[in-house]
Structure 1
Amino acid sequence: MNGRTIARVAATVTSLGIGAVLTLTGPASAAPDAAIDQAVTHLTERAGTDQAARAGVDALGSYTKLVDVAQLRDIAGAWAPFAYAAPTFGCGSNGPITTIIAAGTTEGNNRDQGASPEPGTLRFSATPSHSGAPLSSGLVVAWLNVNNGHSGIDALDDMTEFNLPTLSKTVRTGPGTVIASMWGVIGYPGAHCVMTPTVGTFVVPEIPAAASAPAAPETAPAAPQPAPAIVPGS
């Protein structure tokens, strides 16, 4: 399966998946948002001629047309899966088509060695149905913060202490609501899994303001001292 074929399959499967999301959420009521359109255009330019990346960014662009961006800016949450499990091809004995569950996690100050990212960041992760430890990760996520306009295309290239892929990546999105798509390939012994794009919505909490230094306690005014007595004849 070459890159063009993968991109065509990805585009077809993604359109079906996004259609399912639209069916579940009802008719789209999103109004055009110039900042969001500009950010999607920027991501498309970054994808360049990479057919798989273009399919992933196109999925993200289509998703922005199906959701109400204004309402997304006010939702909240800590952990959320992508909208649907991504159909995946080439995973050997598990069948011609398997799935990957992708998710985004944010837990404020509870860092836990990166599993729960610090405020202002979002950790993307993927859980394939294929058994065994992956040997390599070619997964990619394209994301867009609808509150601050920040966006990016990042590889899920975090590694374990044993130099094996974690199939995850923590990105600095800034606080706000983030929409994203994920796609790519995962290498296993004897299998090469090709993940078609999936899309999702995630919320990054506000970065807490730095605690201000406690005010110094007020010093009580000194008690008035009596005037010195005058000694006669001195």
Structure 2
Amino acid sequence: MKPFLPLLLAALTGAAAPTSALALEPFVANYEVFNGGKALGDATMQVKPEGGGRWRIDLDIRAEHGMMSLAGAAAQQTTVFDVVGDAYRPLSQKMVRKVLFSKRVIDGNYDWNQRSAQWTGDVKEHRRKPIPLQDGDMSGLLINLAVVRDAQPGKTLSYRFVDSGRARPHQYVVQQELEGVKIDDMSFNAMRVNRVQSGSEETSIWVVDGVPTPVRILQREDGQDTYDLRLVEYKGVNEQ
């Protein structure tokens, strides 16, 4: 699975107007996951406070259909972070991927005192080198939260993705017109946010006013749908 699945995996994010980072609240969101247009399984995204001013965002994807289900495929990603001004600042990261009898684990540490991030575990050798940190750097999961917070029709959003031993700029454009989307039996007007990037990959995130998580995340390659997360339900801290 690719790190977008961190945008899910990497990355999973609405608001019609920007909100303050202080408005961050705990929630649990459940998704249906499709691969190539076929049902793959379920995913859960959760944001919760960790104490001491720290927060945690988790994304857990479980294959429940087809060969990947028989192989016991699953992927989890976690980022622990704090909020500095209006920035979601990553502090640590863990990624776990399971297939059959194999298990891969990658750990990341964001040291803001040394302004350096580094990953260990089952990560390629060239991605083990320290990456200098810049103000505003985020993991893929945190970028999804930032897109939800920042999206406005017609706006361009710019972030720096620092995740799994890589650093690269991410730019998104929010479409001017709203699109209709369905969540269970309900319909909403959503902002479609498209990542601007070169090559064959495309990423789109749908954001709905008042919903703290993406209502849909779609990745396409060479014009074909690959991974597609569609929100089924979410609960805020006061509803659990």
TM-score bracket for this pair, using the shorter chain length: under 0.3
Larger Rg: 1
- TM normalised by structure 1 equals 0.26
As a proportion of its length, which structure holds more helix? 1
TM-score, normalised via structure 2 length: 0.25
Q: Specify which structure has the higher proportion of strand.
A: 2
